[in-house]
Amino acid sequence: MRRPATRLSRAARQATGTAASLSLVVVLAGGCAHTGTPSAEAAYGTRIETNTPQGLRAKQTVDMLNSDWPIGPDNVATLAAPKQVNDVAFVMDRMWWDRPFTVTGIDVGAGSADLHLLTSYGVGQDVELRTNDEGMVDRFEVTLRKPEIKQWSDVDAVIKRSGARYSYQVSKVAGTTCTPVAGSNVDDALPLASIFKLYVLLGLADAVNAGTVHWDDPLTITKEAKAVGSAGFDTLPPGSQVTVKSAAQQMISASDNMATDLLMMRLGPRAMAAALVHAGHHDPASLTPFPTTHELFSVGWGEPDLREQWKAASPQGRAALLAQTDGRHYVPDPNRTHTPASPYGVEWYGTAGDICRVHAALQAAAVGPATPVRDILAATPGIELDKAKWTYIGAKGGNLPGDIGFSWYARDATGQAWVVSFQLTWPKFRSLTAATWLLSIASQAFALVQPA
């Protein structure tokens, strides 16, 4: 018998590389056998009959997902066949953060059950589970139910149902001028998450063109720099060196936080302030001084808890708090790892227009010595589009607890440039499902774009 599959959709794997960008140190309380007291069954929606093994396991799945007890291998061992425990635990743990789930339907077959669920923010997921001869789950596959986007008003209708505060914009670009053709809430300054790294790349492009920084200049990894997480250089010990170019590539493609901070330290605060002005940010003073990931993480998720101080502080007070974190090792507080900091104003902020202008400024700056910037942006497009229609796609996304964003600079087959961006923020943590769902909306939005 072939090994049953427990896998993520292709879109979810793609979202992992694009959106899970600002890595925090996650401490999960896994491995607890007690599944807790589930919510009242009436709150689940459709009733699940438990007179068959597959029905029983479907009900157990929903009970576990809706429990306040975290999901780990120990409690999943009561649900799944031994060889599938770790895989099922991984998938269910990620789903668990989107509780409570509502059951909108269930289809029971011979040894199988298909659960139709809605997350707490209205995103549809289907869970296909199969039971073996012992009545244990030996197949557990989760797929997203993609919303249908047929016109621009559908974008608003679908996102509004999620309860997110949001902004999106589609713009034609000519040189560094953005002309919106569709969008909502475009003047709202919302969290950028890792999209802020576009400003770091622009500051770098300007420095490379000025000859003050070179692509092959070395950057030295430090213990403190590694504390904020590194997707691309995680195996390199302190004292190791990477080039400016490799750091820039990892900052954009893998949203590497350590690489970002190393580049920001190399460029200096004045370069970052200049990049905000160069890009036409609507309020450069609001991001001056421009926080490194170490500084912002220390305020938002580190010990001691500085969130309330930040929220109440004047611009000068906030600058003092950032300076205070520079002399302190970043130690994440496990009690706040999954709690959003943007309700306290702890984020990098920008409007849809800001995002469009920084993308346009980057493309304009990608000349002479800074030409590699185009390839750096295009290495990980993060979205699957028709290559016959879209000849170039540069991308940067971002994800912090409660905050998700995507942005693309793309050229169509006629040579017309476009910038498409989405920013969503919730007062609660959302799992990677939200990013996958938003990508499905974005890909359909691209289909609505008409050639020039």
* 105/45 same-domain check: yes
Q: Is 275 part of any domain?
A: yes
pLDDT category at 450 given cuts 50, 70, 90 is confident
Q: In CATH, what number is assigned to the domain containing residue 96?
A: 3.10.450.280
* 119/65 same-domain check: yes
* 118/39 same-domain check: yes
* 137/31 same-domain check: yes
- Strand partners for 106: 115
Q: Is 333 part of any domain?
A: no
Tell me the percentage of the chain whose pLDDT exceeds 70: 90
* 280/427 same-domain check: yes
User: Domain tally for the chain?
Assistant: 2
pLDDT category at 292 given cuts 50, 70, 90 is very high
Residue 403, pLDDT > 50, answer yes
* 101/189 same-domain check: no
Residue 39, pLDDT > 70, answer no
* 429/281 same-domain check: yes
Q: Indicate the residue among 144, 160, 188 that finishes a domain.
A: 144
Q: How far is CA 186 from CA 161, 173, 261, 292, in A?
A: 19, 16, 29, 26
Q: Indicate the residue among 116, 144, 172 that finishes a domain.
A: 144
Q: How far is CA 152 from CA 147, 161, 382, 418, in A?
A: 13, 15, 22, 16
pLDDT average, residue stretch 372-379: 98
Identify the pLDDT of residue 13.
37
* 158/136 same-domain check: no
Identify the pLDDT of residue 346.
98
Q: How many CB atoms lie within 10 A of CB 32?
A: 13
Q: Taking the chain, what is the end-to-end CA distance rounded to the nearest angstrom?
A: 54
* 379/423 same-domain check: yes
Q: Provide the domain limits for residue 406.
A: 152-291+348-448
* 136/226 same-domain check: no
Residue range 59-75, pLDDT digits in tens:
999 999 999 999 999 99
